Structure 1
Amino acid sequence: MRVEEAIKRESIREGILRSLRNLSSAVERNVQEHPYLLDYAREVREARLGVAENYSQWMSRARDVLESRGVEVHFARNARRAREIAGEIVGSGKVVVKAKSMVSEEIHLREHLERLGNEVWETDLGELIVQLANEKPMHMVIPALHYSEGEVAEILKKIGVTGKSAEELAEGVRRFMREKFLKADVGISGCNAFSAESGRIFLIENEGNIRLSTTLPKTYIALVSIDKILPNDELCLKSVFVQSAFFGTFPPAYINVNERIEGQEMHVILIDNGRSEARFREQLSCVKCGRCQLECPVFQLAGNIWGGDVYGGPMGMVWSAITAQIPENVFLSTLCGKCMEVCPMEIDMPSMLREMKRSIVQGEDKL
């Protein structure tokens, strides 16, 4: 889908504005009732940027602590190598359940594993809908916000799920996924924050699907992009608090703190994919709350179609430049500054977008 087509699709605009209305007041209330969240955000920003100054050192620490706990550690310089490693671990002919993960979208992992002959299922309801519709997530936290209840009902018929209400549809998906969880050979998750102190994987969710994806299968793969590394457990917890609160849901429904469990084969793939050489290192402090996306006037019109192959919106423009190349439609940015205004990390995205425009004009295609 092109941006011009996305702008004509009213359901995208309606879904984004509906989400904004529902969540905007919640963010304001979270900060008013829990002012310490602003302090947490500053601490997390400082810690993330500090780690970014020497990723090699922190990856070495991560490897040491993980291996001491019986976890197999792999390092992927780019998306291709990350796919290869995951493919080697999974093999073929397996049932794979995958938690919602933007880094897995970034490396196009599901498609790769399917090409190897595996049955791969997204377990987040929104991600499952997007998978069945053969589209990409419209928002990093609310991937299917652009579909109406009627459209969702038609999409879910592809897996035999029917119902007359959202509740019945959700119950049908729950039954469908329970069967997949019980049959799964491999579970895959991303990572909201990783502790170099303990080797723990911190994950937040609201459906309970992540804990089933990561504990039931005999093999568990955690995809950890190196920007998620933090020095200790306390900062990881503060990071997931900030991410949740500035999206609009606080406290989080579920916080998972994953370690290798007895009898389980656990792998961690540390993924660089442009992060260690990123020109705009400030973006590496991003907690991916998705707030800037909902508030952006261009995103409100075109959604995640405005951006790169995976990431969209203001933050997505910069992440696309870091992990792939500068999206040419960066010129649609209004540079209004709303993204920086609402960002808990106070990332100066307007300056980055301006620099990206300059780079394209001067013939550069990657930052």
Structure 2
Amino acid sequence: MNGDEERLARAALTRIGEPGDELVGRWLTEYGPVETVQALGGEQPLEGASQERWAGLRLRARGARPEADLAAIGALGGRFVCPGDREWPCQLDDLGDTRPIGLWVRGRPSLRFWALRSVAVVGARACTDYGAHLASVLGAGLAERGWTVVSGAAYGVDGAAHRGALAVDGATVGVLACGVDVAYPPGNRALIGRIAEQGLLAAELPPGDHPTRSRFVLRNRVIAALTRGTVVVEAQLRSGSLVTARRAAQLDRYVMGVPGPVTSGLSAGVHQLLRGEGEVVTDAAEVIELVGDIGELAPERSGPVVPRDLLHPAAVRVLEALPARAAVTVGWVAHAAGTASDIAYTRLQELRSLGFVERTGEHWKLTHPDGRHPNR
């Protein structure tokens, strides 16, 4: 068997079978693509197929025109990538018998190379402004750090993540549930066109094929397998994004979620995920700390430094010894702070110059009753 025969057979099978068809996947492993297609020319079903199922597959096989599909993808400047090709992302092999038969790819970069450092950003289609903003910032932040942003080119979070990556001239891949020449959803036609020009579009379905509800769900397994981890930004309790995340967990990929308001139904699915297998992330640096190489750490989080933080410990003891409302002598302060009078006096002078305390004759008091610095 030569490579051209196998490529034609695999191209034909993308029209014959549905994405993720485990039975067809077993046939590919046992018989190979060429023998599987040849068998579909006969009436005797291959093992595991009912007569009814076999008849449906044969009907599709009679309509398959792989040469025309390969010519169509070539006219778009694309290609059909098969397992074993140099561009094939080997991590997709983790899907076993549900591995894609092949991927129709549109765009100049190498899918295999871009997928090596990639993160999926998925979430609600009807997202809030909060979700869209976070997805866009995550997409831009990941792309600026050399990571590929993978999503489904849908409305809402998907589109925002792609746009964030494109805005910084970063790498992004749209995995479609239709042919790579089909703009779906129609409202994202311009975005899908930009992804094709600046990034990559990939699909299991051949040119011209249309999306269905089941194809969207099955597409999610490719997003999960292709990437090192999946981040969910807003998702209801029943959400396709959670399907992607849970498939990622099954494949031993990282699963992450961005928390939202507990009063929002669009955050309920994310929070449920975070109570189980998910890790909390709030920005690109935290995502990369999980999925990246050793040493790619997020910066330490800390609150703002205030003037009181910069005081010497002895000055802090003197400051804390002063009563909230009353004015007291140096001796009183020294006794309360447990220090010598000359040290207490020196620290009071220091605190006075910094605006924490003020002097009235022989007495000292806080500038502000709560002990805060006026510029705090």
Same fold (TM over 0.5): no
Query: Shorter-chain TM-score: which interval?
Result: under 0.3
Larger radius of gyration: 2
Q: TM-score, normalised by structure 2?
A: 0.27
Higher helix share: 1
Q: TM-score, normalised by structure 1?
A: 0.28
Structure with the greater relative contact order (CA < 8 A, sep ≥ 6): 1 or 2?
1
